[in-house]
Structure 1
Amino acid sequence: MVQDRPDPASLSSPAVSSIGVVGGGQLALMLAQEAPGLGLQLHLQAASASDPAVALASSVVLGDADDAEATAALARRCQVITFENEWVPLEALQGLRQAGVRFLPDLDALAALMSKRAQRELLQKLALPTPRWFPLEQVLAPPPAPQEALESPQAGVFIPPGALGADSPRRPELPRGFQYPLMAKSSRGGYDGKGTLPIADQQALEELLASVDPAGWLLEERVAFEMELALVAARDQHGNVVCYPLVQTHQQQQVCDWVLFPAPVSHAVEAFARNIAASVLTALDYVGLLAIEFFFGPAGLQVNELAPRTHNSGHYTIEACACSQFGQQLRLAALLPMGSPEPLVPGALMVNLLGRDGTQERDEADCQALAALPGAHLHWYGKSESSPGRKLGHLTLLLESSGNAALQQEAQAKLQEVRSIWPLP
């Protein structure tokens, strides 16, 4: 049975009453749904008047996330600005910060997480486990010329350093210790499988080099993992850190299909994941919400990616935890005490509802059937367009079993029920 949440009337008055959000998609929508219960007004910077969160906003500034002028207009309507995603023009926003605009997370902390390369460098600096990697341009760097190659004994001709191969193309070479297969990742942007590409052999590497700017990509070893995990953590302005439960995530064609709480791992693994989160948050003096994606397998726990915001893997917290990830982000922005991340139920399964071929009428009928499932909570994002694989909504099903084995059996049975109504695209 779900425990009761705290009465909103018992909440202390927020020091901040108006919050701006850059973005108007489903993450902003779920922030907007939480805001009234905390006595907060939410103002949006949205790319389109048809974006999912617009209807619930106190006011809207139309502009893409990288439109700094729109963000300046948003700043005049609110006391603090937070973000739906991290793809914002940091340099252009520095002027607003210097003028006194408060951002959550702070722009300096955000800068350290803006690119996958910056994330990898941070994790290495903190000695935290992550797949081995190297910048893509490194495969093009000429190897140091050995001294014996600079002089030709056969002809007795001296060849100046740097002249060998200066005008002829050289096959890219992997750094010592790396071998195929590898995974190529765009350093900036990329989500739901976009911006990633498996590199199986030399030909695939050369094709990648011919199609992208090497400076914007990195290569990392392919990880033999048993499962993927995720954790959402939060840190307040006093340095306090709280973590939501570690969850298992399952990908379908590199898009998250479902999330299971709790993850079927040992307490030691979960404790290590929490320690990693606390290390990153503390090192960056980070205030806000941070999601961490992990690989788990023979090499142990390895950090895959960091996301400085609410996260798809944390949607289950809306029904399953005392304070959802969205309520937590708003609390941090409003300088309210952090809410409890403790679970209210033994477990939960969150299933993403991905776009598929079909009509709007079919979607509506299937949504009604999904909402009628026992323990189900439907979240439909109201997007104006659908395409195969696009996240249109999600369904959270609360679980009642105790013990990992029983919970996994219950989750698998519920997943089959969902798939009988809403199959994968």
Structure 2
Amino acid sequence: MPPASSAPLSVRSEPLHMGFVVAWLFCALFYFVQYALRSAPGVMMPELTEAFGRDVVAVSALVGLYYYTYSIFSIIAGAALDRLGAKYVIPAGILMVAAGAALFGLGELHVAQIGRLLQGAGSASAFIGAVYLATHGFPPRYLATAVGFTQCFGMMGGFAGQFAVGPIIHGTIPWQQFWFIAAGCLFVIAILVLLMTPKGHDPRPAGSSNSLGSVLTPYKQVLSNPQSWLCGFTAGLLFLPTTIGDMIWGVPFLRDGLAVTYSEAVNRSSMIPLGWVIGCPLLGYISDRIGRRKPVLIGGASLMLIASAAILYLPAGIAPPYLFGLLLGIGSGAAMIPYSIIKEVNADNVKGSATGAINFLVFTFSALLTPVFGYLLARMAMGGALTLPIFQAAGAWLLGGIVLAIVLALLILETGPKGRQVAG
């Protein structure tokens, strides 16, 4: 266990703070597990519709409840970390996800709704908490790499939540038992994070108080900047093909629309989060290498547009079945570029709140549009089966979202080093 000190955290001269680094590793593991739980319902839709007595559209709305609390608690988690530090805030979030997983596994509709809301609320502390720990554990020259690896952990979890969970619940254990096991694993992770995280928090600005207004002041500063909204809207639109298109509707589209077998549908759908694992560090590296943000953001979004259109509209057999899903995921790494930009267009003293703010904006999009997309599919089907033409017509709206994201990206300031040199 690292030495516990209740003194405020200050800028340290040593290159590495091992207590925070070890805690970051366990928090990254939490991020992996919560992402697996975020995507896992997409591969158990038949079981969920039978257990809850609802059709796939209603179950997709239940699954989407996750994003309501995730977006709101992104703000709360960021403020709590700034005020209280990570030692108790992150374990509390992990325990909320554990409780939510156990409730979801009970298989009762109303209890599962509460469980999904708890999962979203607790998961909000995963990425923000990992970034907080990385900021205090790594020297600045390694921070971007640590954050990139954190996102890779998450998307590897999203990949596992589809590629691994599908076969497990259809050949090894019942779907309910999967959720109970996940809850137990999360409880252990919560204990490890609690034990390994040093005490203390960042010094508060002079004159700050515990009032709600004081807590929200950094967010007011971030959200008063129009560039913050452009970053949030752009990233939010670029997340939709994954959060809605793949993690909820990917397997039903492949099974009902393209008549693909269940196991093949799971494998194909899992290519998108696997692509994220490649795309996040790759596009981040390219952006740092060329010293510009916008060309990489727009280029990645354009790759998303091409790959999504190919998945929806190209006849079967034109290309290898796993290719375009992987390319869509790689291009989706561009959605993380605005996470860097929003920090660069805001003051240094609100960079942590900037992460919470963009997380709030990004997943508010998913929260609001998940039921809208399900309603759109149901309306187009008019009580009938979900067929390929219906998925193609509804999918056109997701393509439109990518186009809109590209347009918004044109309005974002170039914050890369070379872009700032040109502007100067």
TM-score normalised over the length of structure 1:
0.26
Q: By percentage of residues, which structure has more helix?
A: 2
Q: Which has the higher contact order (CA 8 A, sep 6+)?
A: 2
Larger radius of gyration: 1
